[in-house]
């Protein structure tokens, strides 16, 4: 083994504590980068593969009723390659052992298995058999939620008649990867909503749809214009009660899945880039300072005849060894966490197989960034050392010219002890080094703040949405619009304390070239169960005329108060109206458009009509109310606020739980690595100076206070700077998490700042104890030697 290689191994072993800490910083940066990006790539690839293999439709349309012969005219529309007509109906379910009502969506499928649009992947069991009217396939998530298996039965109210459905298979469909009931829901509720597939003849007969359909899906030719096909299809279905055709991008499951993938892309780009950038910066600082402490060794190597290239290659190997260790650990951690994050999505998105994929380009990119930063830091220090003649480089650096500190210039030196003045003088002597050390610790603090930010944001979202906006206990939805007098009948249901009716009208909002499909919601003005709030959580009154949009919807449509929207109603006679935007309100979950319920009734030119009601319910009477609602055919949807909160926490908190845990772990590791290395390198740089003080009569405690006092000053200065940087990074995350599904508010609590402070302070204390122990082993004899 060459002499320089032996030196390399000795150096690595001698500084193993620092090497491990630096490698940990590298590992955290690389692991965060790989885990997030690989999860994004896996989810995106799984979506594309599933859609292609199971023939996910490109255009969808619902209507009241049309004869099957209309299918020929639909096929004749230019650009269409495949058409599939269906019967779709929502029914009330009675699940054994559960008091709460549930809704089942029955979708017709061919009596015999064949290739079809939105094809089924049968996880368990078999396909239905012809002439078995009670056989159904059930969605996997609903089956899991209720522990239903092949052979079990479920009761359903089908067109007013009670019928038992026998489960013969458990299936998945690309149409319900993210299974939600309608536009009013944004989180899946597998306890209360499930999808069933039933034979076309059996379902058509049950709902008087023999030879007819109420749902159609299409695929398009390559190069066909989706908008043209939708316009032609709408014209064709208008006379049959069509609710407006829409493309794949507006299909509920696809919209939310694509939104989540886009959100994950932002997360996988912004956060790991911040982590990797910070890790690279810290690595640069730490290694440049570490190698600078070996100035005399570099000079000795030059005196023994080693040229600059050999010395440079020796230190390059020193750096690459650290980066290699960090890269190996970081890649393994990144892949492990990537699998965990990807697997976590199977709790919310139903894929036949969610394959984990990662690209070597991601791994190599992260390693090159970290390695490049390390090599640059090392090269700058080695270049500075080898530029000096050996005799000069072997001497210690000339002592600094100390000047009065700022405090001394101001005349406040009597407030400090001699040791305190020594600490301040040394910090002022190397202001750039002090600033970089402070910045390194501040960045570690910022990462801790970011790691806890997600918890703060989610708690605030729950408080705003479910305690200020949605205050009802139960929401019921009718199967069709009802006269307003029905609200008085609802008042007499068991346990109902208060009723606020609402009207929901499916519509397409249009402003200039922008459009958006949504349910226009009419509310009671001055209602207490469903309120509108502004950014400061003050209640906003509904105007007697005009529409109030959530801020995100206003942003999507590009409107401000005073603009006029075109409202294309998608039910009944499908009138087209114009409505002024009266205001904007802040909601953090979903998007919505609100009107005074009377104004909406006037817009529709209908009498007092309601689509459902918000209820305040006595909790002791809840089971009785559920039992009655399950037997009421007119009610097709029931949602409970407490369950909505649980769904939100399960979905959003669930998708972010592993991600947040990874962030916090990495941030803690980086914080410790940075603080420990800063203290340890400071000891290496000042060991002779501190040993000299010991020889001059300073005690171990006094010497420790000089060194650790500097680190304490730097750490205390870094904490407020870290808070400010962390808040800035949180603002960047708030900007990234701004979608139709949910928006993260810029909320950072005192608890988060306290958490960051405690972690960094703990790292400083532990590092101080380790360095103090090393201070007791300083070689005092070495400082008495004259080095010429």
Q: Is the separation of the CB atoms in 778 and 694 below 8 Å?
A: yes
Please say if the pLDDT value at position 624 is more than 90: no
**Main-chain phi, psi angles of 586, to 5 degrees:** -100, 120
Q: What's the pLDDT at 566? A: 92
SS3 state at 182: coil
Q: What is the pLDDT of residues 522-532, one digit of tens each?
A: 999 888 888 88
Q: Is the separation of the CB atoms in 36 and 268 below 8 Å?
A: yes
More confident residue, 618 or 3: 618
> Above pLDDT 70, what percent of the chain?
87
Which range, 231-235, 274-278, 298-302, has the best average confidence (pLDDT)?
231-235
Q: What's the pLDDT at 167? A: 92
Share the mean pLDDT of the chain. 81
Please say if the pLDDT value at position 788 is more than 50: no
Q: What average pLDDT does this structure show over 334-348?
A: 78
Indicate the length of the chain as a whole number.
Answer: 788
Q: Secondary structure of 444-489 in the HEC alphabet?
A: HHHHHHHHHHHHHHHHHHHHHHHHHHECCCEEEEEEEEEECCHHHH
Q: What is the pLDDT of residues 630-656, one digit of tens each?
A: 777 778 778 888 877 777 776 666 666
Q: What is the pLDDT of residues 582-609, one digit of tens each?
A: 989 988 888 889 999 999 998 888 888 8
296 alpha-carbon distance from chain centroid: 50
Q: What average pLDDT does this structure show over 507-525?
A: 89
More confident residue, 370 or 413: 370
More confident residue, 137 or 362: 137
Rounded to two decimals, the pTM is 0.71
Q: What average pLDDT does this structure show over 682-696?
A: 73
Q: What's the pLDDT at 703? A: 77
Among 34-43, 317-326, 399-408, 665-674, whose mean pLDDT is lowest? Answer: 399-408
More confident residue, 654 or 162: 162
Among 385-389, 617-621, 760-764, whose mean pLDDT is lowest? Answer: 385-389
Please say if the pLDDT value at position 201 is more than 60: yes
- What is the helix (H) or strand (E) element at residue 36, kind and residue range? helix 16-53
Number of neighbouring beta carbons within 10 Å of residue 380: 14
> Above pLDDT 90, what percent of the chain?
17
Confidence of residue 289 (pLDDT cuts 50, 70, 90): low
Q: What's the pLDDT at 411? A: 63
> Which letter does DSSP use for residue 173 in this model?
-
H helix runs in 148-225, sequence order: 200-206
Computed on alpha carbons and rounded to an integer, the radius of gyration of the chain in Å comes to 34
Among 49-58, 95-104, 318-327, whose mean pLDDT is lowest? Answer: 95-104
Q: Is the separation of the CB atoms in 212 and 65 below 8 Å?
A: yes
Question: 153-189 as b/e, with b when 16 or more CB fall inside 10 Å?
Answer: ebbbbbeeeebebebbbbbbbbbbbbbbbbbbbbbbb
Q: What's the pLDDT at 170? A: 94
Q: What's the pLDDT at 260? A: 77
Tokens of 225: 């214009």
Confidence of residue 786 (pLDDT cuts 50, 70, 90): very low
Q: What's the pLDDT at 586? A: 85
Please say if the pLDDT value at position 111 is more than 60: yes
Pairing assessment for the beta strands 635-640 and 135-139 based on DSSP bridges: unpaired
Please say if the pLDDT value at position 279 is more than 60: yes
Q: What average pLDDT does this structure show over 23-31?
A: 77
């Amino acid at each position: 083994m060459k002499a320089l290689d032996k030196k390399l191994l000795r150096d690595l072993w001698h500084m193993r504590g620092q090497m491990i800490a630096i490698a940990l910083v590298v590992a955290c940066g690389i692991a965060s980068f790989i885990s997030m990006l690989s999860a994004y790539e896996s989810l995106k690839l799984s979506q594309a593969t599933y859609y292609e293999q199971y023939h996910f439709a490109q255009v969808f349309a619902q209507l009241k009723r049309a004869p099957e012969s209309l299918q020929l005219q639909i096929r004749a529309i230019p650009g269409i390659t495949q058409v599939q007509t269906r019967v779709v109906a929502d029914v009330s379910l009675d699940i054994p052992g559960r008091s709460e009502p549930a809704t089942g969506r029955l979708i017709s499928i061919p009596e015999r298995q064949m290739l079809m649009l939105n094809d089924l992947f049968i996880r368990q069991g078999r396909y239905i058999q012809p002439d078995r009217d009670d056989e159904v396939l059930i969605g996997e998530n609903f089956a899991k939620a209720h522990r239903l298996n092949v052979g079990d039965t479920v009761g359903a109210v089908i067109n007013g008649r009670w019928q038992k459905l026998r489960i013969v298979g458990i299936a998945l469909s690309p149409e319900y990867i993210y299974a939600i009931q309608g536009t009013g829901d944004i989180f899946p509720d597998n306890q209360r909503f499930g999808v069933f597939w039933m034979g076309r003849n059996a379902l058509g007969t049950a709902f008087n749809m023999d030879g007819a359909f109420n749902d159609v899906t299409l695929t398009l030719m390559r190069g066909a214009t989706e908008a043209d096909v939708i316009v032609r299809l709408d014209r064709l279905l208008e006379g049959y009660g069509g609710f407006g055709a829409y493309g794949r991008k507006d299909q509920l499951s696809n919209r939310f899945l694509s939104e989540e993938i886009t959100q994950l892309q932002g997360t996988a780009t912004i956060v790991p880039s911040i982590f990797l950038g910070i890790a690279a910066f810290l690595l640069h600082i730490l290694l440049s300072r570490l190698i600078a402490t070996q100035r005399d060794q570099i000079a000795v190597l030059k005196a023994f005849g080693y040229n600059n290239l050999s010395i440079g290659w020796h230190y390059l190997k020193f750096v690459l060894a650290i980066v290699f260790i960090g890269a190996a650990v970081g890649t393994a951690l990144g892949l492990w966490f990537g699998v965990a994050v990807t697997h976590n999505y199977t709790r919310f998105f139903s894929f036949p197989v969610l394959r984990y994929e990662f690209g070597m380009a991601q791994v190599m990119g992260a390693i090159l960034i970290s390695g490049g930063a390390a090599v640059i830091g090392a090269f700058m220090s080695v270049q500075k050392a080898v530029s000096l003649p050996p005799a000069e480089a072997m001497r210690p650096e000339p002592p600094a010219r100390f000047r009065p500190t700022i405090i001394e210039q101001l005349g406040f030196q009597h407030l400090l002890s001699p040791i305190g003045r020594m600490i301040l003088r040394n910090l002022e002597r190397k202001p750039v080094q002090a600033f970089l050390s402070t910045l390194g610790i501040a960045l570690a603090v910022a990462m801790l703040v970011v790691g806890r930010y997600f918890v703060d944001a989610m708690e605030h979202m729950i408080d705003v949405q479910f305690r200020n906006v949605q205050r009802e206990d139960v929401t019921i939805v009718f199967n069709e619009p009802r006269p307003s007098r029905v609200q008085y009948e609802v008042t007499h249901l068991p346990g109902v304390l208060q009723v606020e009716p609402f009207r929901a009208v499916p519509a397409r909002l249009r402003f200039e070239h922008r459009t958006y499909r949504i349910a226009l919601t009419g509310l009671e003005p001055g209602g207490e169960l469903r309120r509108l709030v502004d950014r400061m959580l003050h209640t906003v009154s509904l105007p007697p005329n005009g529409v109030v949009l959530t801020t995100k919807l206003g942003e999507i449509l590009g409107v401000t108060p005073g603009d006029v929207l075109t409202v294309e109603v998608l039910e009944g006679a499908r009138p087209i109206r114009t409505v002024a935007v009266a205001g904007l309100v802040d909601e953090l979950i979903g998007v919505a458009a609100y009107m005074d319920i009377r104004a909406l009734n006037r817009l529709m030119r209908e009498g007092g009509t309601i689509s459902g009601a918000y209820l305040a319910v006595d909790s002791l009477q809840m089971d009785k109310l559920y039992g009655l609602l399950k037997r009421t055919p007119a009610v097709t949807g029931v949602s409970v606020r407490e369950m909505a909160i649980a769904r939100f926490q399960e979905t959003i908190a669930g998708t972010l739980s592993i991600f947040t845990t990874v962030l916090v772990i990495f941030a803690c590791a980086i914080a410790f690595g940075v603080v420990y290395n800063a203290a340890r390198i400071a000891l290496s740089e000042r060991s002779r100076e501190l040993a000299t003080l010991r020889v001059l009569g300073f005690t171990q405690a006094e010497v420790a206070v000089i060194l650790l006092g500097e680190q304490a000053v730097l750490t205390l200065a870094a904490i407020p700077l870290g808070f400010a940087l962390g808040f800035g990074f949180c603002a960047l995350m708030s900007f990234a998490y701004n979608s139709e599904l949910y928006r993260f508010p810029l909320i950072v609590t005192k608890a988060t700042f306290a958490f960051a402070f405690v972690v960094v302070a703990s790292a400083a204390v532990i590092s101080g104890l380790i360095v103090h122990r090393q201070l007791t082993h300083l070689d005092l004899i070495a400082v008495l030697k004259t080095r010429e």
